Amino acid sequence: MRLIREGVAASPGIVIGQAHVLHWEVPRVPHASVAEPEIEREIERLHDAREWAKGRIRQIQEEAARRLGPVEAQIFEPQILMLDDTELVGGVETYIRENHLSAARAFEWRILELRSQWSHASHPMVMDRLNDLEDVEIRVLNWLLGLPDPDHTTAVDGDGIILVARDLTPSITVQLDRARILGIATDGGTRTSHWAILARSMGIPAVVRLGDLSDHVQSGDELILDGRIGRVVVEPAEEERRKYLEREARIQVWEKELAIFAHVEPVTLDGRRVSLRANIDLPAEAVPARDHGAQGIGLFRTEFLVVGRAAMPDEEEQYEAYRRVAEAFPDGAAYVRTFDVGGDKFPMFLHMPAEENPFLGWRAIRVCLDVPELFRTQLRALLRATAHGDVRIMLPLVNDVEEIERTRELVAQEEETLRRRGIPFNAGYKLGILIETPAAALDAAELARHADFFSIGTNDLVQYTLAVDRTNARLSKLYNPFHPSVVRLLHRISTVARSGGIEVSICGEMASNPLGTFLLLGLDITALSVGWPSIPETKKVIRSICIADAQRAAAQALTAATASDVIRCLEEGIGDAIDLSTYAER
C-alpha cells in the first residue's frame, strides 16, 4: 500500500531500501503477590536487577565511548541515574512492602505512575526522559522475569535496510551496525532526542515524528526515506521509485564531485574569501567537520552536556569537551554557545517551570544568569579551553546590553579564580552574542559596543520575526527565511556590525540553502556556518558565484514586497551559475 508520511528531519540523507520493523515492547508482567516472609527477598531481587541493569548500561556506554568518544558516552548517564533515583526505587519498595507485590509487578506499577505524572508535560525534553525510562523498564523487567536481555542487533535481518520503530533509545542506536542500517524512521522522537543525536554522529539518515507509521509498515516493504526534508514514502509507485533512483544516482555522482571541494578554499569567482565553519552537536563531530573542509566551528551546541542529566556537569567534563573541539582546529576558531536550555531542552536538575509558551519564556541566557552555579562552571571550563585554541564564547538569545555586562562580570570573576588556582587561559579570548530576535536586531548598534562579534541564528530569528513555530508542520509554508522583513533585519545587522568593526556570521540553516548563501554574501555577511555534511556543497556554491552579482541581487531583494519577489531577485541574480534543481533534490 502506497503511503507518504511527513515528519521531522533528524539526520540528513536520502536512502531507498527495505523496511525492518523493530519491536521492543515492555514485557507483559503477570500479577503476582508475595507472602510476608518473602518480602525482603523480593526487595533484594529488585536491587539485584538494578545492579545488573546498571552494569549492562555501563557496558553499552563503554562501547559508545570506543565508537564515538567519552563525552558522547555521557548520554547514557540519565538511565544509570534513574536506577539510583529514590523517587523510583523507593516507590517500588513501598509497593512490595505495603501491597505484597512481586518486584516485577511493583516496578511496573511505579513506572506507570511516573509515566502518568511526566506525560502531562508536552516538552520534548520530558518525552526524551520517558524514552530513557522505557529503556530502563524493559531491561529491569526482563531480568526480573527471567527473560533474555534483548539484542536488537541480532533482531535486524539483512543488510541495507531502513529501521522502522515506534521510537528508539540511545542503547539501541549505539549498537546498530552502520554498514547494515541505511536509515531510521520513527513514530515519535524529536530532533534533540539522545538517540537522534547519536544517529547524526554516526551518519545515519533519520526522520522522526511520523505518527503511527510503524503500524502501517511491514518488514520487507520498500521505503524511500528523505532525511533532508523529513519524508517517508512507503511502497512507492514504479515511476516515483524510478525518479528517486535517478535522483539517488545523480546525488551519488554529485557527492563524489563535492568531495573535491573539501580540499579547496571557499573563495568566490571574483576573489572574495569566505570563512566557512561547521555546526556540531557533539565533540566527535569536530574531526568529520574538519575532514569535510570546515575552517572552524561556527556553532558548538553544548546542551548535550546537561539535557537529561540529574546533576550539573562538572568543570572537568566540560573542559575536556571544549578542549577536544579546540584541538581539532589549531588554525581555526571554535564558537561555543553557552547552554541554550529551556524551550525544548530541559535538564532534569533545573526543575524547569511549566510555561504556556516555553520558547518565549525562561531559556538560554536568562536561565544561565539566574543559575550562576551552572553558568560559572561552564565559563571556567571555556576559559580553560582557550589555552588550547581560539575558543570564543557565544551567548544565546541576548536582547539586552545588561545581559552581556552581567556575563562579563561573571567571566572576570572566574578569570580571577583560575589565576588563583594557577590554571592557564588565554586572556585575549572573544565574547559575542547570537542575534536571534527582532529586538536584538533593532538594538544591534548598542549591542555591538559590548560584544566582540555577532552570530545570527536565522532559525530563531525567522521564527520570532514571523511569529511562526518552525516545528509546526501546519505552519511550514509560513516559515520563510526569504520574507522581506527577515532580509531587512539581516541587512541591518550586517551594516551595524561592519560599522562597529566586529565580525558578523550566520549559523542558522539559511546558510546551507544556495539562495540563502547567495543572499548572505550579497549582504556582506562573509562568515557562514552550516551542518558539517553541507560544507562541500556550500563551498561549491561560494566558488561558483561572483560577490558583485550577489550584491546586486541583494540590493534588489531589499526592495521586494513579498518572499516570492525576494526569491525571484535571487534566482535571476544567480542565473546559470548554480543548478538549483540539483540542490532541491537533496
Task: Say if residue 153's pLDDT is above 60.
Answer: no
> Residue 203 above 70 pLDDT?
yes
* Fold topology of 255-273+433-586: TIM Barrel (3.20.20)
User: pLDDT per residue over 297-346, tens digit each?
Assistant: 999 999 888 876 667 889 999 999 999 999 999 999 999 999 998 765 56
Class of domain 302-429: alpha beta
> How many helices and strands, by DSSP H and E, does the chain display?
24, 16
Domain boundaries, the chain: 3-24+152-236, 36-144, 255-273+433-586, 302-429
Question: What one-character-per-residue DSSP string does 459-512 give?
Answer: HHHHHHHHT--TT-GGGGGG--TT-HHHHHHHHHHHHHHHHHT-EEEE-SGGGG
Whole-number pLDDT of residue 81: 83
pLDDT at residue 123, rounded to an integer: 46
pLDDT confidence of residue 2:
84
pLDDT band at 580 (very low <50, low <70, confident <90, very high): confident
Residue 586 has pLDDT above 50, yes or no: no
Regarding the domain delimited by 3-24+152-236, which CATH topology (the fold level of the hierarchy) does it fall under? Glucose Oxidase; domain 1 (3.50.30)
Residue 113 clears pLDDT 70, i.e. is over it: yes
Q: What distance in Å separates the CA atoms of residue 245 and residue 251, rounded to the nearest whole number? A: 10
**Choice among 20, 123, 194, 292 that is catalytic:** 194
pLDDT-derived band at 584 (thresholds 50, 70, 90) equals: low
Spatial neighbors of 467 by CB under 8 A, at least 6 apart, are none
Q: Find the helix or strand (DSSP H, E) in which 186 lies.
A: strand 181-186
Given a cut of 80, whether residue 104 has pLDDT beyond it is yes
507 labelled catalytic:
yes
- Counting Cα atoms < 13 Å in the Cβ hemisphere of 569 gives 25
Q: Which secondary-structure segment (H or E) carries 8?
A: strand 8-11
What mean pLDDT comes out for the span 100-105?
94
If one compares 160 and 328, the residue with the highest pLDDT of the two is 328
Determine the CATH number of domain 36-144.
1.10.274.10
Q: Give the residue, 389 or 172, on which the prediction is more confident.
A: 389
Distance of CA 152 to the CA centre of its chain: 24
Annotated catalytic residue within 20, 123, 152, 507? 507
Kindly report, residue by residue over 15-64, the tens digit of the pLDDT. 889 999 988 778 889 988 899 999 999 999 999 999 999 999 999 888 88
What pLDDT score does 522 carry? 98
Asked if the domains at 3-24+152-236 and 255-273+433-586 fall in one CATH topology, the answer is no
Q: Are 550 and 519 in contact (CB under 8 A)?
A: yes
Which of the residue ranges 173-177, 211-215, 301-305, 403-407 would you say has the lowest mean pLDDT? 173-177
Contact assessment for residue 216 and residue 1, using Cβ atoms and an 8 Å cutoff: yes
Phi, psi of 162 (to 5 degrees): -110, 120
**Structure confidence at residue 156 as a pLDDT band (50, 70, 90):** low
Mean per-residue pLDDT over the chain, rounded: 88
The whole-angstrom separation of Cα 5 and Cα 3 is 7
- What is the rounded CA–CA span in Å between residue 156 and residue 581? 36
User: pLDDT-based confidence at 358, cuts 50/70/90?
Assistant: low
Q: Over the stretch 492-524, which tens digit does the pLDDT of each residue have?
A: 999 999 999 999 999 988 998 999 999 999 999
Average pLDDT of the residues in 146-154 = 69
Q: Report the percentage of the chain scoring pLDDT > 90.
A: 58
Q: Does residue 128 surpass a pLDDT of 70?
A: no
CA atoms within 13 A on the CB side of 179: 0
Identify the three-state secondary structure at position 395.
strand
**What pLDDT shows up at residue 185?**
96
Quote the pLDDT of residue 581: 64
Q: pLDDT band for position 585 (50/70/90)?
A: very low
DSSP string of 197-231, one letter each residue:
HHHHHHT--EEE--TTHHHH--TT-EEEEETTTTE
> In 10 A of CB 484, how many CB atoms?
17
Is 123 considered catalytic here?
A: no
Specify the pLDDT at position 406: 97
Percentage of the chain lying above the pLDDT 70 cut: 89
CA distances to 54, 56, 456 from 43, in Å: 17, 20, 55
C-alpha cell at 19: 523496511
Q: Which of 434, 442, 492, 438 shows the shortest CA–CA distance to 467?
A: 438
DSSP assignment string, 326-389:
HHH-TTSEEEEEPP--BTTB--GGG-PPP-S-GGGSS-THHHHHH-HHHHHHHHHHHHHHGGGS
